[in-house]
Chains A and B, each alone.
Chain A
Amino acid sequence: CSDFLDYEPKGLLSSENIKSASSAEALATAAYAGIGNDEMIGPMTSMWVYGSVRSDDAYKGGGGVSDVAEIDFYEHYNLTRPDLGSMHPFTWENFYKAISRANAALASMNALTEAEFPLKQTRTAEMRFLRGHSHFMLKMLFKNIPYITENLTSEEILKTSNVELTNDQLWDKIAEDFQFAVDNLPARQSQIGRANKMAAAAYLAKLRLYQAYEQDDTHRVTNINKTRLQEVVTLTQQVIASGQYSLQPDFAENFIAETENGPESIFAIQYSINDGTAVGRLSYVTGLNYPHGAPQYGCCGFHQPSQNLANAYKTGADGLPLFETYNDKNVDFANETVDPRVDHTIGIDGHPYKYDATKPFSNSWIRDPGVYGFFHTMKDQQLATSASYHKEGPFIGSSKNIDILRYDDVLLMQAEAYIELGQQALALPLINQIRRRAANSTGRLKKTDGTFASKYNIKEYASAGWTQDYARKALQWERRLEFATESPRFFDLVRWGIAEKTLNAYLEKEKARRPFLSTARFTAGRDEYLPIPQREISFTKGLYKQNPGF
């Protein structure tokens, strides 16, 4: 009768039966899935809430300030409140889930020999790349984070503080994973979704660029480290010289599903549709961000560009940005000239929406213009006619990949390093390469009558007057327009140490246009980073230290 009480789980595995090479491979696959397993209220892939809405690029959008009020709190830098249960606490949780998946795979691989698992070296390097990615993202968002490896037991993890390492030590720790990946990954992988040596080099370059701008405990940039910048140059050179990557001929091809995994994409989070899952492994993190009033979309009108961003696309007669005067008055698309990237980025009344001239953007598509104005973002959306598009309930998912590292970013990272090294002349052709591609990216922007909705005028920078200060300004502008609403903006501002200055100046002007911003204010020494989630501090009984100011 004692057998009567024996009940074994159905269809599940215990830790005893996951010790084979095939299990290691399966854990590694799950680790890749882990970096894409995010949610609308806990983003890991698109950082539109943390990087775009929190910057001068965009507003929350949607139906008034109380519609997904959490996002409004980021927009207003109002993150000291106790009722903030979703968003960054879930982002923290989701990245540590991803790290634990990579660590579970690493632990399993460590116990296998090369003979048992011939791909051990490559897969180990991939797992360290994935772990590096998650730690990097957490560091960019939260600054002070616990660093977790596969060698720690659960008990040891609970004793690992978020301030165990200094800022610089933490960067170096994360860099070790990318360095291991650079040293051990093949230049190319037969499966395009896997990380390769170039992706690792590009990521390590990105990390070293962030690390170069040394911060003190209150997030002030105290020094720009030339050694780190030199590493950025070396690493990006390795990627460029490989010849594996190039700019897409048309800027648009970075933002449409049909041309994903193209020559510009260095590492992307892969999404899929019609793949045997219930509705596809789709990206929903921008699922709120489609035009609300358009019947083919119908939800939910979030993520609207700021007036300031629209104005930033203005160009002068010389085809260059109006660095000083761009924001004096609002852009007039009928009469002023603009950078063509505006029509890749911003939905404007009467302009083709997402390269479809037959269904131009309409002011009636805007959900709450009284609060957020009449612009809408476009980059993170796909046409309803795209094979990648799927509407589920009110929200829209897409199998369009989300790029983590793109070649245009590599070029601009190298340009930035050169400029800060005082070698701005070497940066000029890199930035002009970006502008040349932008100038050539008007093929998809025509209206049905064959004319353009905007007057485009974009030129390359001349070498005359290309001083370090000017180059820095041009680089910062170029990054903004190239990646506008894709969310590097806020993190760039923090890295450069100009977040407080830039954002409060932006708010000062913008709140007259958009009264909902009237109480928004960026507090230096606090708002550069997100608060450590309170519950994580509770779960570690106060071992984690809260970031300053919260």
Chain B
Amino acid sequence: MKILLIDDDNALRELYVAELTSRHYEVVEAVDGEEGIVKAQKEKPDVILLDIMMPKLDGIATLTRLKQELTTKDIPVVMLTNFGQENMVQQAFSSGATDFLIKYKVTPAEMADKVAQVVK
């Protein structure tokens, strides 16, 4: 099972990678939306964890492009946000997100539980 983690926060990525690999997921990392799209096409992950606030291409724009591409449109995407703003989440859902996580509210274990739920 392969997971693509797109987030510009190095520290958080390290933490999530540690948790996910301890559950025997293969994790591919990207630091911004552009790199994320390239890796999504190349690596064909089973789930994408996508941060909303990022440089170059933000999460919503990245999600929109992932959902337009034939090769990536069927990969479930879980949005990561630190805001939990209603409009952002709504926008993400209407752009095709499968689920979302508010980063500061969940522990790495809860994040991994959510991933398990989505890939099931």
Are A and B part of the same complex? no
